[in-house]
Structure 1
C-alpha cells in the first residue's frame, strides 16, 4: 500500500537571527508549474528582500530542485531541501525569504538559519501522511449515528462529509486494506442492518 508524507496547507513562520529576518513559506504542490508559481508569488511579495531561497520535492518523476538565490553555495537551498528529505516529505515547496540585518552569519550560521526556517515553516503547514484509501459512505438511523462515529474512529477513518435528512449519511475515507474489516465490524455491531458502500479510491489524509 502506498503512503507518503506532505503538508496539509499553505502556512508561514518567521524568526530573527542577528537582526536578519527570515520568513519561511511552505505549501503543498503537485507539479513543477505549481511550485514555480508559488515561488514567483513569494518573490513578488518580497521583491525588496535580500534573498528568496527555495526548494521543492515532487513525487512526480522524483523531482528535487533548490536555489541559494545569491547566498553562498550550499548554505541556503540545500539546508532547506535537506529538512524536507529527512522528514521524507514530497509534493511540497518551501520559500525562505531573508532580509539582511547587517551582521554576517557565516556559512555555518546560514545553514543553521535556513534549516530552522524550513523546519518551522513545514511545522506551521502541518505534516500529514497520505495513503491510498477507499472513500465509502454509510447511511444509518440517528440512533446508530454515535455508534458509527466510534466505529470509524476505532478504524482511523477520516470523516469527509455528513448529511442529515430522514437518515444520517456519512462519507469517509479509510485505508484500502482495512475496508473489509470495518464492514465486517459494522455488520456485526448493527446486527446486519448496515454496511458501507464503496464510492472511489484516492489518496487521503490518514490519522
Structure 2
C-alpha cells in the first residue's frame, strides 16, 4: 500500500521575483490546530507582510486539505500551492508563503508560478537535505533471544534491517531479550529464514500488528527550477 509521505522538520526557502519576496515555510502538522498554530506564529512574526497564503494536507491518506489566497486574486496562491503538495505525494504538513510586495504587479499567471514555485523550491531543498520522510505499513516483529546470544543476534538484525527496508526498535529485557523490529510484509519470510539460519533453528520471530512508520528518505540533489 502506497502512503503519502511527509517532512521531518520545518523548511524555509526565499524566492525573489520582480522585487517581490516570497518566503516559503513548510512545517509538519498532524492536525488543523497544529497547522493553525504555525500560521498564527508566522502572521505575528512577519506582521508587516502583505499576504500569508496557505495550503495544508492532513491525514494518513491525505484526505483533508485546505488553502487560502489571503487577499491575492482568487485561485492564484493557495490552490496552486496545494497542487504542489498533492503532486509531490505529501501529507501532514502546512505550507505558508509570505509575500512582501516589491511594487511590480505579476499578473494572475505570474502569481500562480511564484506561489507554486516557492513551495516547490522549498520541497526541493527538503529533498536535498534529507528532510523528507516516506511512510510505510510495517509489521511489528519480536525475536525472543537468550541473554547470552542477545548481542550477536542484535548485530545481525541491525545489519539485516538496513538491507531489507526494516527499522530496529529499542529492545525489551525480561526473562529473555526481546529484540524488536518493524518489517515489510514481503520480507517476513526472509527474516524467519535468516534468523533460523543464524540460530540453527532455535529462534523464531513473532509477528504482530501492522503500523504506519515514517522512514527517512536519503538526501537527493535539488531539482532544477
TM-score (norm: length of structure 2): 0.77
| Superposition map of 1:122-201 within 5 A | 122-125=123-126, 126-138=131-143, 140-161=149-170, 171-198=180-207, 201=210
The more displaced of 197-206 and 39-48 is 197-206
| Superposition map of 1:69-148 within 5 A | 69-125=70-126, 126-138=131-143, 140-148=149-157
What is the deviation of 1:162?
A: 6.6
SS at match of 1:30: coil
How many residue pairs align between the two structures?
A: 205
The more displaced of 143-152 and 72-81 is 143-152
Which stretches in structure 1 are left out of the alignment for 5+ residues? none
Partner of 1:65: 66
| Superposition map of 1:1-40 within 5 A | 1=1, 3-40=3-40
SS at match of 1:136: strand
Q: Confirm or deny: 8 A CA contact 1:158 1:205 kept in the other structure.
A: no
SS at match of 1:16: strand
TM-score (norm: length of structure 1): 0.83
What is the deviation of 1:196?
A: 4.0
The more displaced of 135-144 and 185-194 is 135-144
CA deviation map 1:68-114 (0-9, x unaligned):
11111111111101101111222221111111122222222211111
In structure 2, what is the Cα distance between the partners aligned to 1:21 and 1:55?
18
Runs of 4+ in structure 1 over 6 Å off: none
Alpha-carbon RMSD: 2.8
